[in-house]
Structure 1
């Protein structure tokens, strides 16, 4: 979730372009998108230096040397994909584009705008479009039944579900090549204001599938994971049991970004059946202690930026205190957490008080890795590019995730070539187009937050099954 929304209308305009460009296209729309893609001609080459990476998240293209060029691309999308707005609407859109493109080149939302117009093109365009249009599906039909029933409870000790089994199952997107246990399955859990396909398709999902590291499964939470995290955890708990149940009883791993790690930790705490079916829990930029930045969006009154999940992520919220109480601040399964001091969303995120760290009271094995503690802030693997979303393409983080999956977790620095990984500007195998798509998570999240209803003034009440853990 963004640290601040200084201009709601500007962010909405920028993010709307992404939403339009990524909607399921008709043949006419597809032609329009293709024209824009060809015009932009984004490179799909590997990232080998800081200038290339800066192009992905900073002032990127000659197209943005003037407002007219930016508006030309914006108008191409507006006029060829949806009916053109009236003169007043277009004038307003142009004014908002001017505001974005005249911002500081390092501003995250200007970067996001450039990503939206430049990123989804080039050699990886089809793969990225697949991540957004197919792997992000929230209405799936999964007819295969688990070997043993897992609903209404897989274990007598599990918390009750408030959702039907159909609701729980339909958010699980299983790619056509899924091997049902021949390759270790991994569940991708999205962050706040994201769905799993767009979150992981252009990074971990692509690499795992290509390299046969693990079998990706995307858990696409309704409402872009902006609703009650307690309900999101129900989807996660069910998905763990379901995928294991249709994969010959093989254990699964979970990889989560941001608040997806809270979804997973809540599921492990209150659905104990998931623990002996989970080999690894891997958190990228997690916020197990919430973030002080959430106060900006949820100050205690209804605001355009306050959704239930964001209110729950206030540092030391009732939800966070309930989760962490009675052992929830420690891992339940082998866990690998990777985070950065340059996280613009989660604070604090610096050792020894990083929100992304977990304790290991159960002695299951935990690796808490601040990338700058390994790479320093001077090497590519630790530079400021490694932001909240940037850790998704951090080479050291990816190497630790692979190590955890291949060795049963947690990821160990002693087993990876940290010197090599820290020298990488991005995980080998990812292209500029992949980085664009990953960076686009932030401006798209801004739009999703503004669009989500209903807005709230405070967090949802704690579910009855967890109220015994709420500190008095």
Structure 2
């Protein structure tokens, strides 16, 4: 069975059985193949055959799903109300069919990518992303111009981490202009670092086009420890970079980094006035049902604190969303895909990556396929959990948000052109390889992390009031 058929089946099943708040705004502009206009592009990825060749060893987009075969029935039985006695066996059968059709080994693929040195002319940039921009031990001697530690605002939650440790996680490139160009803080997802995640794509493009000044926040333990601790790093980084640059900053995050950022905004209100935009790719503000595969209630090779906290019904997620945490605190752009192999549900109107806008700050929730459809290059299967990072429509929305203020709007970008692209113009196959390598890297780090835990970390004292009854 084709993956597109399977994704449609899974999407239909999840959206009809999971009840979550509807997103505030789902940007839609239907684009048909006949509407595509010829347009010159600088990208070296010009046709589907190139991507097929590039991804011949990749099956990351279905490996997480195929891993669900042995315990998938328990997941759907415990979390999703079953519509009938035959639904689960049929769904598992489809999962097995997909797995059999795509027998690639995710760890072997990732190792080959790393050992081959990301072949292509962008090797130096990618290597810098791994060796320099992913540093977790940085010396930032410039003091903030205002007091930001132990609190920048009396309403801020207390820090449990020392200021020196918080500041050392921030990698500031030597080209940083300290306010001449708008600063952007890159935040990673689970199991990877910011340099690995963003240097081959947005870091490269921002540097070439002088769009923003990149800063990389590399969370210790590859962002696998308590997300509440990760939020402390984000809160401090926003206040610190804003203070030394003399202007507001924006954050661009992937996956769980977006959840950490939402927690920071909820409990460190001082950063709300310093943050111009919160831009998130493949976020899981409602967690993911697949987290229970790794955190079923007993210790497994993948039961790390951050993974357990991202369970769809975790105490952490319910605490985050309670009392207004399911709405944006600052102008927010969320970009996600129905072909997400890590976060489910990720389909409108029940997408985990969507936020409400109870405060009226401005939110855009864009499901890639609602604009590009699943049949155009910008919306096809390549646009997976990690693939959204190099999606052309996503990049256009980011530029729109940074340029115009407020959330990125589909109505202000050339969606027809963006949906006709296989990847953001200016990125090479080497950049795509580097981005796809994030999944096997994260998988390795998840298994290697110690200590394992059968349960999620306890909620900090400052957030106890938000734990649902």
Normalised-by-shorter TM-score class: 0.7 to 0.9
Give the total of aligned pairs.
387
Closer/same/farther in 2, CA of residues 307 and 443 from structure 1, 3 Å limit: same
1:297 matched to 2:294:
yes
In structure 1, which of residues 338, 342, 359 is the aligned counterpart of residue 339 of structure 2?
342
Corresponding position of 1:254: 251
Corresponding position of 2:152: 154
Deviation at 1:431, TM superposition (A): 0.2
Deviation at 1:450, TM superposition (A): 1.0
1:440-451 matches, cutoff 5 A? 440-451=437-448
Deviation at 1:58, TM superposition (A): 2.2
* Distance in structure 1 (CA, Å) of the matches to 2:140 and 2:385: 33
Instruction: Give per-residue Cα distances to partners, 1:355-414, cap 9 Å, x unaligned.
Output: 000000000000000000000000000000000000000000011011001111200111
* Distance in structure 1 (CA, Å) of the matches to 2:106 and 2:381: 12
Deviation at 1:253, TM superposition (A): 0.3
* Distance in structure 2 (CA, Å) of the matches to 1:361 and 1:56: 43
Deviation at 1:149, TM superposition (A): 1.4
* Distance in structure 2 (CA, Å) of the matches to 1:330 and 1:316: 18
Corresponding position of 2:380: 383
1:165 matched to 2:154:
no
1:325 matched to 2:322:
yes
Instruction: Give per-residue Cα distances to partners, 1:307-346, cap 9 Å, x unaligned.
Output: 0000000002100000000000000000000000000000
TM-score (ref. length: structure 2): 0.81
1:314-463 matches, cutoff 5 A? 314-463=311-460
1:199-238 matches, cutoff 5 A? 199-238=197-236
Instruction: Give per-residue Cα distances to partners, 1:29-86, cap 9 Å, x unaligned.
Output: xxxxxxxxxxxxxxx97111111112222248xxxxxxxxxxxxxxxxxxxxxxxxxx
Find the residue that maps to 1:332 and give its secondary structure.
Answer: coil
Q: What is the RMSD of the two structures over their aligned residues, measured on CA atoms?
A: 1.5
* Distance in structure 1 (CA, Å) of the matches to 2:111 and 2:373: 29
Instruction: Give per-residue Cα distances to partners, 1:131-180, cap 9 Å, x unaligned.
Output: 00000000000000111111000000000000110000000000010011
Find the residue that maps to 1:246 and give its secondary structure.
Answer: helix
Q: Where has structure 1 moved over 6 Å in runs of 4 or more?
A: none
Closer/same/farther in 2, CA of residues 287 and 411 from structure 1, 3 Å limit: same
Query: Is the contact between residue 291 and residue 312 of structure 2 (CA under 8 Å) also seen in structure 1?
Result: yes
In structure 2, which of residues 277, 280, 288 is the aligned counterpart of residue 280 of structure 1?
277
1:141 matched to 2:139:
yes
* Distance in structure 2 (CA, Å) of the matches to 1:109 and 1:424: 28
* Distance in structure 1 (CA, Å) of the matches to 2:191 and 2:425: 27
* Distance in structure 2 (CA, Å) of the matches to 1:451 and 1:222: 14
Q: Larger RCO: Structure 1 or Structure 2 (Cα < 8 Å, ≥ 6 residues apart)?
A: 2
Query: Is the contact between residue 56 and residue 115 of structure 1 (CA under 8 Å) also seen in structure 2?
Result: no
Corresponding position of 1:70: none
* Distance in structure 2 (CA, Å) of the matches to 1:454 and 1:301: 13
Query: Is the contact between residue 58 and residue 111 of structure 1 (CA under 8 Å) also seen in structure 2?
Result: no
Find the residue that maps to 2:45 and give its secondary structure.
Answer: coil
Query: Is the contact between residue 290 and residue 355 of structure 1 (CA under 8 Å) also seen in structure 2?
Result: yes
* Distance in structure 1 (CA, Å) of the matches to 2:356 and 2:116: 41
Query: Is the contact between residue 285 and residue 317 of structure 2 (CA under 8 Å) also seen in structure 1?
Result: yes
Closer/same/farther in 2, CA of residues 119 and 377 from structure 1, 3 Å limit: farther
Unaligned runs of 5+ in 1: 1-43, 61-101
Unaligned runs of 5+ in 2: 1-41, 59-99
* Distance in structure 2 (CA, Å) of the matches to 1:114 and 1:396: 29
Find the residue that maps to 2:299 and give its secondary structure.
Answer: coil
Deviation at 1:205, TM superposition (A): 1.0
